[in-house]
Amino acid sequence: MHEAIDQLSTAVGKDFPNLKAAYERTVENIGLAREQLEHDERIKALDTLSVAVFGSIARQEMTEGSDFDYLILTHEIVDDPQHLKDCRAAVEDVRTKLNFKPPGTTGTFGR
């Protein structure tokens, strides 16, 4: 993505510092979240679950005002619902620790 921003800057002769900053913020925050989750014992025990992000984070456009939109995906039927609760708790702990805003409750783009 960063290369695409650089190519656009070169093509139009303008700089896009906000896009670059959003990209860099996204990369840094995804790295921090991934590191936290990979070391969380609640997640390590759940190899049948994945956490996927979407919204501004997935587009690599995270700003200070972005919320942390995510899904918990199961790769097979989960027999014990506590596994899902543990995974959600781990993600929420990381979200809180890294000061990400909670997923919006008002719908797409806050409407």
| Distance between CA atoms of residues 42 and 83, nearest Å | 8
Sign of the alpha-carbon dihedral angle for 54, 57, 59, 65:
positive
The pLDDT value given to residue 27: 93
**pLDDT tier, 29 (very low <50, low <70, confident <90, very high otherwise):** very high
pLDDT per residue as tens digits for the range 48-98: 788 888 889 999 999 888 888 888 888 888 788 888 898 899 999 999 998
What number is the average pLDDT over the span 27-50? 85
Q: List pLDDT tens digits, range 10-20.
A: 999 999 899 99
pTM of the model: 0.76
Buried b (16+ CB within 10 A) or exposed e, 11-22: eeeeeeeebeeb
